[in-house]
Structure 1
């Protein structure tokens, strides 16, 4: 049995589908019990309702599992403490391996979202457990929420300059690679940087969208104040909005570039190209 935390989120659901496709038995760990039926419909063999800040619920969920995959809440200030609770649950339950879903380049200390994961990684490495660490780059799926606006306005707009490059990666590829790591031997004590096949700017992405749609789409940097206001409207905390500002300021001048070799080795095939992701999105 594999315990999958954060199973109700976008990443968790993708991982669940990929694990089920590998015939894995998955126990989905969620906070909201209303998500249980939907996750069972995706193939979860069991659902554990709990709270990542409640050690007792974590230990109950971990009982009888062989592998724990931890997908933490995004930008949570208690990242290290929450992760440590799951590491301790790995020890207490007798699970054979802990898989930490982190972020590419946690060494970026000026970006708290990254540095918190570096602290958690250091704790995991020093914990004495058997672990694997997944370090994904920025998702291609960041296009999803702005897709209606792109179709309506012909503008691709994200909160960093239009020339900064990102090795954007398809979440479906990441999920398949993580499922392989979780269900096959040979990945113990491995840390895998998983980046997409091209380093692309907003201008490159807009050009790919233009090609797929057959009409012009241009790139435009979204002002950080506009990004912050929209996040607040959606209920983001002040702390999270501040971290989003710091992260996107870093991306504005440095981008987020990477290399696809490790991902493609795990997949056993070429990683999904951005234009193919756009074609899939446009096809509905």
Structure 2
């Protein structure tokens, strides 16, 4: 039995078809935890066991993890809480349930940065790494998917790209760093969940196909979209004020700023790129298949 949390999110909805294609042939049953079962596609809902509710609820995870062999763990974003409470606090009931039910394997969505000089002051990433430690301490075999920034983050700038031909971030324009498509994260997660021959605890870096700078992203978008796109660097102070203006918890807002500062200080640069850490979806392909259609009226 594989339990999937957040099955309707960006990663989960790409993970579900991969598991549904392969799990039954391996004799694997699937169970999902979802707040609103109506959001599941009919093709998914009719083939899985559904546990309604939040996977931050002790009663829900206690029920869902009963008889489970493996769990896909993803903490949903909650900017109304402090970073530690949003990650480790949310995960604590699940950690208790993992231990109580003797779940063997967990694959979690986390971040790059462990072992780097800035890991302890990286805001949301620091909180995510603490979440990893909490899960690993339960005695399960655990693999943390160590991810850089997602291509999909650019979808937050869809209107600005369409209307003004620009996108913003806080990184230096020429700073190259790994980026990854969520579809590639889902594929790595599926492989680990279906082949559980691994033991112990560790990180699995998911680095995309190459490092890119914001200027590289702008150039590729210009080429693929057939319209000029430029990058504008945003001061961290401006980002912080905007986050507070949107009503984020002040500690969470600071956690976002600290994460952005740490990324510009090399948070994502500590893992060597190898065939094992490289995933296939190029930014060019992602622009053609995801961003381009999202920009259409």
Residue 32 of structure 2, aligned match among 24, 28, 45: 28
**Equivalent residue number for residue 227 of structure 1:** 239
**Equivalent residue number for residue 84 of structure 2:** 77
Report the CA distance between 1:29 and its aligned residue.
1.6
**Equivalent residue number for residue 267 of structure 1:** none
Q: Deviations over 1:107-156 (max 9, x none)?
A: 41111322223323333334322222221121111111212311221112
Residue 105 of structure 1, aligned match among 113, 118, 143: 113
| 1:271-282 alignment runs, 5 A limit | 271-282=280-291
| 1:107-256 alignment runs, 5 A limit | 107=115, 108-189=119-200, 190-232=202-244, 234-254=246-266, 256=268
CA, structure 1 residues 232+282, in 2 after alignment: closer, same or farther (shift >3 Å)? same
CA, structure 1 residues 23+128, in 2 after alignment: closer, same or farther (shift >3 Å)? closer
Q: Deviations over 1:75-104 (max 9, x none)?
A: 742223433432331232233212222111
**Equivalent residue number for residue 100 of structure 2:** 92
1:235, 1:20 → 2: CA distance?
39
1:40, 1:95 → 2: CA distance?
27
1:144, 1:21 → 2: CA distance?
28
Maintained 8 Å contact 2:18/2:187: yes
Mean CA deviation greater in 183-192 or 208-217: 183-192
Q: Deviations over 1:181-227 (max 9, x none)?
A: 00113333342111111111110000000110223222111233443
Q: Which runs of 5+ in 1 are unaligned?
A: 265-269
User: Which has the higher relative contact order, 1 or 2, with Cα contacts under 8 A spaced 6 or more apart?
Assistant: 2
Indicate the SS of the match to 1:68.
Answer: strand
Q: Deviations over 1:31-66 (max 9, x none)?
A: x3xx31222436141222233443222201212322
Maintained 8 Å contact 2:4/2:33: yes
Q: Which runs of 5+ in 2 are unaligned?
A: none
Superposition TM-score, scaled by structure 2 size: 0.82
CA, structure 1 residues 251+129, in 2 after alignment: closer, same or farther (shift >3 Å)? closer
Report the CA distance between 1:9 and its aligned residue.
2.8
2:103, 2:137 → 1: CA distance?
17
Indicate the SS of the match to 1:262.
Answer: coil
1:49, 1:244 → 2: CA distance?
30
Residue 49 of structure 1, aligned match among 43, 52, 69: 52
1:234, 1:41 → 2: CA distance?
35
Report the CA distance between 1:10 and its aligned residue.
2.2
Equivalenced residues, count:
276
Report the CA distance between 1:175 and its aligned residue.
0.3
1:111, 1:282 → 2: CA distance?
28
1:260, 1:148 → 2: CA distance?
36
Report the CA distance between 1:255 and its aligned residue.
6.3
